[in-house]
Amino acid sequence: MILDLSDLKEVGSQKNYVKEIEVSKIDYRHKEIKLKGPIKVNLDVLKTERSFVLKGDLECTLVLQCSRCLKYFDYMIEVEISDELNIEDIEDLHNINIFPHLVSDIILEIPIKPLHDENCKGLCPICGQNLNEGDCDCEVENIDPRLEKLKEFKQK
Ligand SMILES: [Zn+2]
Ligand SMILES: [Zn+2]
């Protein structure tokens, strides 16, 4: 998203941007995350003496993978944008790319362990059956932690 702020000369002058950015994916931890639909941005820019203050919000839908059952699911993100660009740091007032700022705002909202449903049962660790779709016949050992300690002790 490119801003042209060359016309904001007076301190206190403002500008509003409403934009839909079409991107199909963003990079996140050396992986790609797909997006469904555009990133919708509504942004107010205010000129101050030394900076431009950016305030607004953005909305987008990511396609995340469930950390338990590995299924892909849609995840809607709404973030408030609150940023400030120092005028000294801006090379070209006609051409300010704030897209990297928007991406880092989005990335902060991505859960570390996404779940397609908070009650997701995940996959059987033995046969890989998706336990949301039905049980398998594997015997999952439920080891009492106290017995486990005893077992370790005996092995020594
Ligand atoms: Zn899941
Ligand atoms: Zn199983």
pTM of the predicted model, to two decimals? 0.79
CA–centroid distance, 125 to ligand 1, in Å, is 14
pLDDT of residue 151: 60
CA–centroid distance, 123 to ligand 2, in Å, is 8
pLDDT in tens, 50-88: 999 999 999 999 999 999 999 999 999 999 999 999 999
- Give dist(CA 47, CA 85) in Å, integer: 10
pLDDT in tens, 105-133: 999 999 999 999 999 999 999 999 999 99
Q: Which residue has the tokens 């990335």?
A: 107
pLDDT in tens, 37-51: 999 999 999 999 999
CA–centroid distance, 154 to ligand 2, in Å, is 29
pLDDT of residue 149: 64
Choose among 97, 113, 55: nearest CA to 80: 55
Give Cβ neighbours of residue 51 (< 8 Å, ≥ 6 apart). 84, 85, 86, 87
- Give dist(CA 43, CA 94) in Å, integer: 17
CA–centroid distance, 111 to ligand 2, in Å, is 27
Neighbours of ion ligand 2 (CB under 5 A): 124, 126-127, 129, 136, 138
pLDDT in tens, 130-151: 999 999 999 766 656 666 666 6
- Nearest ligand to the C-alpha atom of residue 121: 1
CA–centroid distance, 89 to ligand 2, in Å, is 57
